[in-house]
Structure 1
Amino acid sequence: MNILLVHAHPESRSLNGALKEFTVQRLQSAGHLVQVSDLYAMQWKAAVDAEDSTQRLFTTRFDVAIESKHAFKNGFQSVDIAREQEKLLWADAVILQFPLWWYSMPAILKGWIERVYAFGFAYGVGEHSDTHWGDRFGEGTLAGKRAMLIVTAGGWESHYGPRGINGPIHDMLYPIQHGILFYPGFDVMPPYVVYRAGSTDERRFTHICDELGQRLDTLFSADPIAFRPQNKGDYNIPALTLRDDILPGQAGLSIHVADREY
């Protein structure tokens, strides 16, 4: 299978750098083809701006969505954006690997998403009607592919538990897993999270690699998170609210996961 690893850490000798090397070796040893987008090594430009299009539709005012749509549709995207889109289309699975900085992904990775997820590629796809509100949340350009996060966090696991001060880790990663990965169609695997990243010695690193290796070995066989598809009947369209008869009286992020076990 083809796998794209998008890596976002500035130091190759860090824990994240070591996990990147382990992940590539493990996947290749299993016979997979792997491409790596090492964003810091690539000196990836994170900011969306007018330079993302080689031929603007309007020159007096920069409208991000309109220019993104125009550039994607007409082949006017900058070379770096088009190249990353080709990698996404090539891949059967995508792994985003990054440290949890200020409760989210590093800015360089967010910038990769913002620039590569062009209008007409990752959003703005499909019809809008009384029964179908675009190809998204389970449908879209990247449907049929798998995705997974490998995340390191400085805090203890308890800090990210149900009563932890940071909030549950699944709630924290929800905007990434549901909003960035499930939105354009990916089947999203449960994340692999390394807690207390700064306290990793050689013995613990070996244990982490054992756990991560098992997760990588089942990347294409384990069950993904059971996010509810938008257009399969669970949501009122166009309001996009969960039907009243499903989990009545309940709210929060977890209601959008069908099996409620995640």
Structure 2
Amino acid sequence: MNILVVYWHPEPKSFNGAMFRTAIKTLEAAGHSVETSDLHAMNFNPVSGRHNFISTNDAEFFKQQLEEVYATEHDGFAPEIETEIQKLECCDLVIFQFPLWWFGMPAMIKGWVDRVFAMGRTYGGGRFYENGVYKGKKAMISVTIGGSEEMYLKGGWNGDLDAILRPIHRGIFEFNGFSVLAPQKVFGPARRAEQERIAELERYAKRLQTIFDESAIEIGQY
């Protein structure tokens, strides 16, 4: 299978970095082909604008979605965006690896979605949810959380983590046709002993060895 891992963390030696490398090593050892988008290393620009395109639909008024549709029809995406879109189109599974910041994705991953999930190419024309462009593909979040698990339960201090992740699961993945796998969650890695962190990486590697045997989760239950 083909896997795309989209990863962001500003420190390569972080636990997120370790999870990123664990995923690549484990999936390749299992015989899969792995593409990556290491957004920090790429110095990926998360800000959308006319630089997303080499084509122009309306030079007087910029509406991104209409420019995306026009670029889809005229091979008009900037090379760095075209490359990322092709990675999505080729993958059987996409994994987002990131730390939870302010109850969401860090800006660089969110900006990657804003620029790469382009109308006309990725969605639109009735191609949503069960009729989405990426129907038949799978998607998963692998996320680290600064606090403890107890803080992110229903009724906990910060609320249900599954509810926090729902906008990504439903509004990005399912919206575009992906089947959503259960998120890989690691709570408070900076507060863990080294052996505990190693155990978390081993748990992740074990899961990835049979990841394509997993069924999609029901997002509506959140």
Q: TM-score, normalised by structure 1?
A: 0.82
Q: Where does the alignment leave 5 or more consecutive residues of structure 1 unmatched?
A: 126-133, 228-255
Q: Which residue matches 1:185?
A: 177
CA distance in 1, matches of 2:104, 2:15: 18
CA distance in 2, matches of 1:151, 1:204: 16
- Of the structure 1 ranges 204-213 and 149-158, higher mean CA displacement relative to structure 2 is found in 204-213
CA distance in 1, matches of 2:93, 2:131: 15
- Partner SS, residue 138 of structure 1: helix
Residue by residue over 1:210-233, the C-alpha shift from the partner in whole angstroms, topping out at 9 and shown as x without a partner, is 221222122110111134xxxxxx
Conserved 8 A contact 2:132-2:176 = yes
Q: Which residue matches 2:83?
A: 83
How many residue pairs were aligned?
Answer: 222
CA distance in 1, matches of 2:208, 2:170: 20
Residue by residue over 1:97-150, the C-alpha shift from the partner in whole angstroms, topping out at 9 and shown as x without a partner, is 00000100010000000100011122213xxxxxxxx22123211110111110
- Find the structure with the greater CA-based Rg: 1
Q: Which residue matches 1:18?
A: 18
Q: Aligned partner of 1:170: which letter?
A: D
Q: Which residues of 2 match residues 1-262 of structure 1 at below 5 A?
A: 1-125=1-125, 134-227=126-219, 256-257=220-221
CA distance in 1, matches of 2:169, 2:204: 18
Residue by residue over 1:150-206, the C-alpha shift from the partner in whole angstroms, topping out at 9 and shown as x without a partner, is 000001101100111211011000000111111111111000110012213320112
Conserved 8 A contact 2:7-2:38 = yes
Q: Which has the higher contact order (CA 8 A, sep 6+)?
A: 2
Residue by residue over 1:60-85, the C-alpha shift from the partner in whole angstroms, topping out at 9 and shown as x without a partner, is 11111111111122111111111011
Conserved 8 A contact 1:48-1:114 = yes
Conserved 8 A contact 1:139-1:183 = no
Q: Aligned partner of 2:48: which letter?
A: V
Conserved 8 A contact 2:23-2:205 = yes
Q: Aligned partner of 1:179: which letter?
A: G
What root-mean-square deviation, in Å, do the aligned CA atoms of Structure 1 and Structure 2 show?
Answer: 1.2
* Percent identity between the two aligned chains: 37
CA distance in 1, matches of 2:190, 2:130: 36
Conserved 8 A contact 2:55-2:74 = no
- Partner SS, residue 81 of structure 1: helix
Conserved 8 A contact 1:147-1:189 = yes
CA distance in 1, matches of 2:131, 2:206: 28
- Structure 1 runs of 4+ aligned residues shifted over 2 Å read none
- Of the structure 1 ranges 55-64 and 99-108, higher mean CA displacement relative to structure 2 is found in 55-64
Quote how far apart the aligned CAs of 1:51 are.
1.3
CA distance in 2, matches of 1:121, 1:219: 27
- Partner SS, residue 167 of structure 1: coil
CA distance in 1, matches of 2:37, 2:93: 13
